[in-house]
Amino acid sequence: MVVCEVRPEKDDPDRTRITIGGSRICFPGDVGTNTASLELFKVLLNSVLSRKGARFSTIDLKNFYLDTPMPDPEYVRIKITDIPAEFIEEYKLAGTDRDGWIYFEIRRGCYGLPQAGILANDLLRSRLLVEGYYEVESTPGLWRHKWRPIQFCLIVDDFGVEYVGIEHFNHLLDVLKKFHGVQFNMAGDKFAGITIKWDYANSRCRISMPGYIETLLIKFKHPRPSKPRLSPYKCLPISYGAKSQLTPETDASELLDEHRKRRVQEIVGSLLYYARAVDNKLLVALSAIAARQSCATVATEQAVHLLLDYVATYPADGIVYRSSDMILCAHADAGFLNETNSRSRAGAHIFLSENDPFPRFNGAILSIAQIIKFVMASAAESELAALFVTAREMIPHRQTLIAMGWPQPKTPIQTDNSTAVGVTNKTIVPRRAKMMDMRFWWLRCRASQDQFRYYWDAGSKNWADYHTKHHPDAYHEAHRTTHAGIWDPVGT
């Protein structure tokens, strides 16, 4: 397969590559490789801002796969009619075809080979170990040196490097130059498709993906809205004066054909990375749409178009991080019975701040906006479920921070439900809580190990509320300064 793409971060941005049909190759060994997560990358950015004298730069290895020898060759055939005439002439292929096919032996790594990644990664790993670099056991993709003040996250062949002292960065660079062609960016303003705007003087940075939404709109031929769309999803109207608020009605609109359903799924997939990376305000809408995309209807398609109108209105949102004491914190919240089939929604804003009774705001390293699978019997149970989901996600991040040199006290988790706090802190003993046993006993167990501190504060001060329901336009506009990654005095 011939793949053409534009990679602006490369020296030669217009790239054409031949990839091998890996789906037709049976490789008996393990082909999985460790890679850094988005959350690890965001933690590393916070670490750079918070560590005195630290800086961030990036390194990209050239021909990472192509430079890797293979212990056993693979074989591939290409139609001679698909090979450019100048290649046929240069490599003297004329007359060597068999029934119109040219057969090749692959002796080094090649794009598309299922084993290319692990072979290249194992070779890189052996070379780095000799020089004192090692991968942190508890955090895949995080590498440190035995004694140098340098650490980096590794995504295939892309290094995001935090260092204190240019001589330590140069040491890593010299090690890699022994074996690979190397391209590096001292400004560290691009990594994994994300643009980073550094403000070292004020100990803050902003991440965004400029141009991503514009390209997406062109790809799916979605016109720009005639008037601004202020919220990413249609809000369920409030019935003022009603004794109870009803859950959303089941979608009964017409099913989409396969072509239109595939388009919905492609749009959701394209926006999901963008939302997880730089625009967490889309997560509630995306989770609601994704839950219905396998049986997408006309209403689902309309919801996707509203979402595209929203991102077209705000195409350059991002996340702002500031320096902190690198203490892992979270706000957890739940929306009770606000999804179809009487389901509830868990939300969380996980961030890094100070070890204060009420930690101040910082950009999220992870936002949770998920529909709770089971029907919750009460608001307190749904809040406990949200606490459980949040705390469970924070466990590996605590270990990562400790491994990076940031010791962690009890991790503060805020909720706005006094019953949930009372149950977890043992000030309330429920008489009938069989269905909640696993969740609140797990939370109590972790608290007894001094891993978490659960506390209450008013719902208006809970930043996870943004991720628990479909808010009206006025709410989104009121909270844009906080959540949209704008340079502003928030958190100061």
pLDDT tens profile 344-402 = 899 999 999 999 999 999 999 999 999 988 888 788 889 999 999 999 999 999 999 99
pLDDT at 246: 60
Claim to verify: residue 148 and residue 281 sit in the same structural domain: no
Residue 142: strand, helix, or coil:
strand
Query: What pLDDT shows up at residue 489?
Result: 43
pLDDT, position 245: 57
Could you give the 3-state DSSP secondary structure of residue 266? Answer: helix
Assess if residue 76 is contained within a domain. Answer: yes
Q: Which residue, chain included where needed, has tokens 């769309």?
A: 229
Whether 385 maps to a domain, the answer reads: yes
pLDDT for 479 equals 84
Q: Could you tell me if 368 and 261 lie in one domain?
A: no
Size (the chain), residues? 492
Q: Are residues 418 and 269 in the same domain?
A: no
User: What span, in angstroms and rounded, lies between the C-alpha atoms of 395 and 477?
Assistant: 33
Ranges under pLDDT 50 in the chain: 489-492
Which pLDDT belongs to residue 25? 76
pLDDT at 424: 86
Pair 152, 171: CB distance under 8 Å: no
Going by DSSP bridges, is the β-strand pair 181-185/158-163 parallel, antiparallel, or unpaired? Answer: unpaired
pLDDT digits (tens, 9 = 90+) for 321-352: 999 999 999 999 999 888 888 888 999 999 99
For 426, the domain range is 324-483
Asked whether residue 61 falls in the same domain as residue 79, the answer is no
On whether both 335 and 449 belong to a single domain, the answer is yes
Q: Answer yes or no: is 410 within a domain.
A: yes
Residue 488: predicted pLDDT: 56
DSSP tag of 10: S
Q: Give the per-residue pLDDT at 490.
A: 41
Domain assignment present for residue 11? The answer is no
Q: Are residues 347 and 465 in the same domain?
A: yes
Asked if the structure places residue 403 within a domain, the reply is: yes
For residue 432, the model assigns a pLDDT of 61
Local structure of 257: helix, strand or coil = coil
Dihedral of alpha carbons 42, 47, 49, 50, sign: positive
Which DSSP symbol is given to 201?
G
Q: What is the chain's percent helix, strand, coil content, to nearest 5? A: 35, 25, 40
CATH number of the domain where residue 118 is located? 3.30.70
- The predicted structure's pLDDT at residue 247: 65
pLDDT tens digits along 164-188: 999 999 999 999 999 988 999 999 9
Per the listing, tokens 């068999």 go with: 98
What DSSP string runs through 356-407? SSSPPP--EEEEEEEE-SSPPSSHHHHHHHHHHHHHHHHHHHHHHHHHTT--
Residue 392 lies in a domain: yes
Q: Are residues 176 and 307 in the same domain?
A: no
* Other beta carbons within 10 Å of 416: 20
- Tally of domains within the chain: 4
Provide the CATH number for the domain around residue 450. 3.30.420.10
